[in-house]
Amino acid sequence: MILELTNRETWAALHGIILGGVFLLAFAGGLAGLWSLRPEWVTVQGLQERMNRLRLGVFSMAAVAWLTVITGTWIVYPWYRAKPPEGTEDLTDFPRSLLLSNPDTDQWHKFGMEWKEHVAWVAPILATAVAFIVLYYGKQLIVDKNLRYASIVLWILAFSAAAVAGLLGALITKSAPIQ
Amino acid sequence: MANIRVVSEGGETIDEIAWTAQELDIHERPNGPAVAAIISAAIGVFVLGLLTTLSEANTDVHDFLDIKNRVGPLSGKTTFSVIVYLVAWSALVPVLWRRTVPFASAMLVAATLVALGLVGTFPKFFELFAD
């Protein structure tokens, strides 16, 4: 069996599966790292290793979130919204038009894509704020509960935005894939 | 070494490890830089929601935000939101860098901005203003 991806499918996979998937999967690690920065759960000896891992983790995830939305908006989305030439009957290569052509699927664009394309950008903005706080304050987060809890809330919000976008993206792709 | 504080609660004895900043060798920094980062991020989210709704409500705004034809108005919404976010951050940082500000009040402002931004990006909301 030969597995072959078109250029568009490759970019869609990079955007949705690789970058988006990495962000969503790594969220739990970041959350656990932030949550466990508690005096009773860390030792002085283990602290340095944990902080280095958390700094690298949140910085990487913020960067991945930016790459995900940039590739999605500027590379993949134009293929999704491309208008078919006049008289085109086979809309397979025009996912937006394909979804809108059928009353059973038009909500995937009108609600699903319209929400996804906007809310996805919330994730990198909020994740960047968390990355800055972790990088700048470091182990102060252990003794500063306000900052730690604020970071956790922002991290969960960033994940939630990415999860909504990722889930809708997967479902829309199932109905009208970019190929 | 960490302090181990013994606290009695209702007859029970609880061992609690209380680390102070000095024991962890932490030079405590003011919360201003964190507040600047959070408020500017909240402003970015708010502007994203605002532009999304305005783009739906007004065709002139819609056309203005269409800075890259292949991407459509989403190009302008996201670009201007990120620019406003970065400008807000760079404006707030010098003001708040060495300050400690009331954290709860700052978070209330941030939460309000983020909530409004999220509402503004929700289709069932911005479609109410469809031109």
Residue A161 pLDDT exceeds 70: yes
Residue B119 lies in a domain: yes
Residue B55 pLDDT exceeds 50: yes
Domain of residue B59 covers 32-129
ipTM: 0.91
Binary contact (B2, A44; C-beta < 8 A): yes
Residue B20 lies in a domain: no
Binary contact (B70, A125; C-beta < 8 A): no
CA distance A117 to chain B (A): 8
Binary contact (B74, A119; C-beta < 8 A): no
Tell me the per-residue pLDDT of A62-115, one tens digit each, with 9 for 90 and over: 999 999 999 999 999 999 999 999 888 889 889 999 999 999 999 999 999 999
The overall average pLDDT reported for chain A is: 91
Residue B74 in contact with partner chain A when CB distance is under 8 A: yes
Residue B94 lies in a domain: yes
The chain A residue lying nearest B26, using CA atoms, is A140
The residue among A15, A12, A178, A14 whose CA lies nearest residue A97 is A178
pLDDT of residue B16: 59
Residue B96 lies in a domain: yes
Residue B1 pLDDT exceeds 50: no
Q: Which residues of A44-79 are buried (b: 16+ CB within 10 A; e: fewer)?
A: eeebeebbeebbebbbebbbbbbbbbbbbbbbbbbb
pLDDT of residue B53: 97
Spatial separation of the C-alpha atoms in residues B22 and B30, rounded to whole Å: 16
pTM listed for this prediction: 0.90
pLDDT of residue A79: 95
Residue B63 lies in a domain: yes
Residue B22 lies in a domain: no
Helix, strand counts (H, E) of chain A: 10, 0
Spatial separation of the C-alpha atoms in residues A6 and A53, rounded to whole Å: 36
Interface mutation vs chain B, best among A74, A121, A139, most B CBs within 10 Å: A121
pLDDT-derived band at B11 (thresholds 50, 70, 90) equals low
Residue B69 structure tokens: 């034809």
pLDDT of residue A177: 86
Classify the C-alpha dihedral A58-A64-A67-A73 as positive or negative.
negative
The angle subtended at Cα B89 by Cα A35 and Cα A132, nearest 5°, is: 30
Q: In chain B, how many domains are there? A: 1
Q: How far is CA A160 from the centre of its chain?
A: 9
φ/ψ (deg, to 5) at A89: -100, -35
Residue A2 in contact with partner chain B when CB distance is under 8 A: no
Residue B19 lies in a domain: no
Residue B23 lies in a domain: no
The chain B residue lying nearest A73, using CA atoms, is B71
